[in-house]
Chain A
């Protein structure tokens, strides 16, 4: 299977400064999040894979296409929602999206049809005949998303899509992105400062720091691993309870005040833990799946890359 993004010693220099330092890695998931503090090189990486910047060394491949040598072919697969304002103020929303779809190669009639559909889909149906310049910030974000999806791309690149959106609008946009991901075979690359945005939409995360890869993490596998890690608060015979759990294959660590951490093997289900507790007369007062949140992963990556202040 062709990797979604393949980085091979990618180095990018801008204005005499090296921004990306020999990035190497393979990202195979369909939904990839791009995380990192300000100035980490997220936007530079996006701009490079769109062909806006030329690598000084190495290469980046998206769906097997080199961003530099096959730039046009690659861009024909991409829908791009930039971070900053990007619109033509005097055009009506639907005409703006149609214009962009036609430039992507859609015939005029299909472009018009898809522009209307995209506008309705992102929830701007009522505002589609208004000039884009009169839209609120949240509406402009949605209009940018509409132009990015109208031509039916295979790769959707979203650079800080929830910038400047209020919580309900942000929630709606995240839902849309998830819907788009689930309704088609589209690949998603989402760059964001907001860990939650990435966590809710992506399967794999590339964390950048100072132009270097701090971590590549597969969130699906992390989530699967987390499902087997329990934190319990119990009242009763802890020792016999933990011994019984170990008998069925669990690993246990006992802490003060009846707190127990349990790692379950794949063969053991949670109801067996309850059964063991009932048999031993132990009350389980609290049970948590320990979740290694993306924040933990991110901070861990920052620390591992030798950074004390892993601030966003």
Chain B
């Protein structure tokens, strides 16, 4: 099909491995995302707190600087322990939520609006590949503002503190990665499900907020009426905090009595249920052809 010949020729060259083709979606989505200045600004803003946290670690490990700031070393004002990472993780979880609200709604809706889905699925490309490709966009992006900076801060602290700090705190890597992973998965699948359902970005963003905050209100109502604390299972941010605090074996006091009353397994089950529900919605919506019953 050379241009100068203007005739059709079939393709006889090499092909990429089938398993890697989902990443085409991710690559194209990233190219589109980075064309938006607002997105770049938002991404930078989401990473800025981590830079301040790095500064905090630097000061915490620099006695000379503390003296220059007229802080008494025995005050132990700068302390990099579990609580420090809990605060960072919770802060970055909210940053991830904002980023997800901006990026998530357009990922699938753009393909559904003008019926492009049959074009993907008429190729050697499954619905699972499609979801994986879109999920990888959010997975990579949200990782860049959650567990990756947390691990970098952990490494920085390990490097500066020395005296075996890293080995005595190495267990923290597990809650950092695991808690971030469930949070990223919940956010990503939820926003992909919304994106598959709602085509307009502004409406989809609104629906994500509703899906996040309305259950919290309903849970509070349930608690008030039934005199229980189980309603918090509908509060995703609460569940994340609970998982993080339990993961770090630390209590910040934000969670009140519910910290003791709600088992960690229930929190995990609740978040996994959201993921499962989102997958059910995606399965129902991502079809090459819709079947009208009746």
The answer for the CA separation of A102 and B13 in the assembled complex, in Å, is 13
Indicate if the CB atoms of B114 and A104 lie closer than 8 Å.
no
A86 interface contact, C-beta 8 A: yes
Among A106-114, A261-269, A279-287, which stretch is in contact with chain B? Answer: A106-114
Main secondary structure of the interface of B (DSSP, over half): loop
A39–B88 Cα gap in the complex (Å)?
A: 59
Q: How far is the CA of A17 from the CA of B180 in the complex (A)?
A: 46
A-B contact list, 23 entries, CB within 8 Å:
A15-B294, A50-B288, A52-B121, A52-B122, A52-B288, A52-B289, A76-B124, A84-B115, A86-B115, A86-B116, A88-B110, A88-B114, A89-B110, A103-B24, A103-B25, A103-B120, A103-B125, A106-B13, A152-B1, A152-B11, A154-B10, A157-B122, A186-B8
The answer to the question of B37 belonging to the interface, with a C-beta cut-off of 8 Å to chain A, is: no
Which residues of B1-53 have CB atoms within 8 Å of chain A's CB atoms? 1-3, 6-16, 18, 21, 24-25, 28, 32
Which of A100, A106, A118, A183 makes the CB contact (< 8 A) with B119? A100
Tell me whether A151 and B118 are in contact (CB under 8 A).
no
Q: Does A133 contact B (CB under 8 A)?
A: yes
Closest to B294 in A: A15
Closest chain-A Cβ to B124's Cβ sits at a distance in Å of 4
Which residues of chain B are near A151, meaning CB under 8 Å? 11, 123
The minimal Cβ–Cβ distance linking A173 to chain B, given in whole angstroms, is: 14
How far apart are the CA atoms of A99 and B275 in the complex, in Å?
29
List B contacts of A154 (CB < 8 A): 10
A16 nearest in chain B by CB position: B293
User: Chain A: interface residue count, which band?
Assistant: 35 or more
Residue of B nearest to A147 (CB): B119
- Closest-by-CB residue of B relative to A179 is B8
Q: Contact check: which of A87, A152, A179 meets B116 at CB < 8 Å?
A: A87
User: Cβ of A110: which chain B residues have Cβ within 8 Å of it?
Assistant: 11, 13
Contact partners of B12 in chain A: CB under 8 A: 152
B291 within 8 A of A: yes
Tell me the complex Cα distance, A114–B119, Å.
Answer: 17
A102 to chain B, nearest CB (A): 5
Q: Which of B9, B13, B294 contacts A184 (CB 8 A)?
A: B9
Q: Hey, which chain A residues are within 8 Å of B118, CB to CB?
A: 52, 80, 82, 86
Inter-chain contacts of A75 with B (CB < 8 A): 122-125
B23 → chain A, closest Cβ, in Å? 10
- State A102–B18 Cα separation when bound (angstroms): 11
Contacting residues of chain A (56-111) with chain B, CB-CB under 8 angstroms: 72-73, 75-76, 78, 80, 82, 84-90, 99-100, 102-107, 110
Contacts of B62 in A (CB 8 A): none
Chain B positions near chain A (C-beta within 8 angstroms):
1-3, 6-16, 18, 21, 24-25, 28, 32, 110-111, 113-116, 118-126, 287-289, 291-294
* B119 and A89 contact, CB distance less than 8 A: no
Rounded to whole angstroms, the CA-CA distance of A151 and B123 in the bound complex is: 10
A residues in contact with B124, CB < 8 Å: 72-73, 75-76, 104-105
A250 contacts B by Cβ under 8 Å? no
Beyond A72-B126, A118-B1, is A184–B110 a contact (Cβ under 8 Å)?
A: no
A residues with CB within 8 A of B: 14-17, 47, 50, 52-53, 72-73, 75-76, 78, 80, 82, 84-90, 99-100, 102-107, 110, 114, 116-118, 120-121, 133, 147, 149, 151-154, 157, 179-180, 183-186
Taking a contact as CB atoms under 8 Å apart, the answer to whether B119 and A133 are in contact is: no
Q: What is the CA–CA distance of A179 and B291 in the complex, to the nearest angstrom?
A: 35
On whether the beta carbons of B111 and A180 are closer than 8 Å, the reply is: no
B118 to chain A, nearest CB (A): 5
With the chains together, A198 CA to B270 CA distance in Å?
Answer: 56
**Residues in chain A near residue B123, CB distance under 8 A:** 75-76, 78, 100, 103-104, 151
- The answer to whether A180 and B21 have CB atoms under 8 Å apart is no
Closest A residue by C-beta to B7: A183
Q: Which residues of A contact B10 (CB under 8 A)?
A: 152-154, 184-186
Contacts of A89 in B (CB 8 A): 110, 113-114
Assess the B122–A78 pair: CB atoms within 8 A: yes
Question: B166 → chain A, closest Cβ, in Å?
Answer: 41
The chain B residue with its CB closest to the CB of A53 is B289
Please give me the residue from chain A that is nearest to B133 by CB atom.
A103
Of B7, B119, B125, the residue contacting A86 (CB under 8 A) is B119
B6 touches A121 (CB 8 A): yes
B113 shortest CB reach to chain A, Å = 7
A90 to B106: give the CA distance in the assembly, Å: 12
B9 engages A106 (CB within 8 Å): no
Q: Which of A50, A90, A105 contacts B16 (CB 8 A)?
A: A105
Task: State the CA gap A116–B6 with chains docked (Å).
Answer: 11
- Given contact pairs A50-B288, A179-B8, A105 touches B119 in the complex (Cβ within 8 A): no
- Complex-state Cα separation, A180 to B9, whole angstroms: 8
Q: Are A107 and B14 in contact (CB under 8 A)?
A: yes
Other than the known A87-B115, A183-B7, what 16 A-B pairs have Cβ atoms closer than 8 Å? A15-B293, A16-B294, A47-B288, A50-B121, A82-B115, A84-B115, A86-B114, A88-B110, A100-B123, A103-B120, A121-B7, A121-B8, A152-B10, A153-B10, A184-B8, A185-B10
CB distance from A86 to the nearest CB of B (A): 5
Task: Across the A-B interface, give the 4 residue pairs with the lowest CB-CB distance, nearest first.
Answer: A152-B11, A15-B293, A105-B15, A152-B10
A99 to B18, CA, bound (A): 15
Q: How far is the CA of A152 from the CA of B28 in the complex (A)?
A: 22
Tell me if A87 and B114 are in contact (CB < 8 A). Answer: yes
How long is the Cα–Cα vector from A90 to B123 in the complex, in angstroms? 21
Which residue of A is nearest B17, CB measured? A105
Most buried by A among B9, B10, B125: B10
In the bound complex, residues from chain B placing their C-beta under 8 Å from that of A103 are 21, 24-25, 120, 123, 125
